[in-house]
Amino acid sequence: MTQSNKDLSTMEMPVMCECGVWFDLNDGYGKEDENVTVCESCHNKEVDAREFWEECETEFLDGNFRMLSWNQPFASLMLHGKIETRRKSTNVRGKVLICACKKFYSFDQVKNLSCDYQIGDLLNLFSVISYSSLQNKLPIGVAIAVGDLINCRPHTLQDMPKSFVNHDANLFSWVFENVKQIDPFEIKGKQGWGFVTEDILNKIRLKQ
Ligand SMILES: [Zn+2]
């Protein structure tokens, strides 16, 4: 966003923020760790990032911050409101580090799991025209998001659009909310639940 000259002329002390936007130094905010003044929008982002990390830290200190791996493209779909489906029910609730393991489902595997319109939605969401472009686009072997697991219940027909798989009465819907993208970092994927270690916690940064 750039501001007009008129805006600039009304500023007492116009300065350019590190994000490239002009702001009045009188309306600026000091950064938390550096002696730099930034615009309101950058300040708000910094506050969001700090609050997000503090939430993660609290959950970690409570011993309730878990991690789980997904095969792509389903890991990245979690950032688009996917209802996760698994064959097992779970009583786990709380923060989950969402990791994309090294495995990418082949097109045939996705065709077995999902119906045509879901595959169409999938390609549209990531603005690609083919499944092979998707395979080149989505990250693997990295942690990509943090979300809250809030519910688990049998899969319903109504869950189909958001789960991106065909209805199956033997499936369970794992409902996440508040899924936020983080700066991706490399992680060893493994089957089933793991716990976030302090080392991993310290790598988590909200994507800006
Ligand atoms: Zn700024």
Host H or E run for residue 175: strand 172-186
Strand, coil or helix: 4 = coil
Cα 125 to chain centroid, rounded: 14
Residue-wise over 89-112: b if at least 16 C-beta within 10 A, else e?
eeeeeebbbbbbbeebbeeeebee
Domains of the chain are: 5-58 (no CATH), 63-201 (2.30.130.30)
Say which amino acid occupies 85.
Answer: T
Q: Ligand 1: distance of its center to the CA of 208 in Å?
A: 12
Residue 188 has pLDDT above 90, yes or no: no
In the reported structure, the alpha carbon of residue 42 is separated from the centroid of ligand 1 by a whole-number distance in angstroms of 4
Task: Give the pLDDT band (50/70/90) at residue 6.
Answer: low
User: 20 alpha carbon to ligand 1 midpoint, in Å?
Assistant: 7
Q: Average pLDDT for residues 91-112, to the nearest whole number?
A: 96
CB 206 within 8 A of CB 79: no
CA of 205 to the centre of ligand 1 (A): 18
What pLDDT digit, counting tens, does each position of 17-64 carry?
A: 999 999 999 999 998 888 899 999 999 999 999 999 999 999 999 999
Beta bridge partners of 67: 97, 194
Token pair belonging to 167: 């209805």
- Residue 37 alpha carbon to ligand 1 centre in Å: 9
Å from CA of 132 to ligand 1 middle: 37
Provide the 8-state DSSP code for 62.
T
Distance 69 CA to ligand 1 centre (A): 35
Q: Tell which residue, 2, 22, 1, has the closest CA to residue 12.
A: 22
Kindly give the distance from the C-alpha atom of residue 46 to the centroid of ligand 1, in angstroms, as a whole number.
10
Look at the alpha carbons of 120, 123, 125, 127 in this order and tell me if their dihedral is positive or negative.
negative
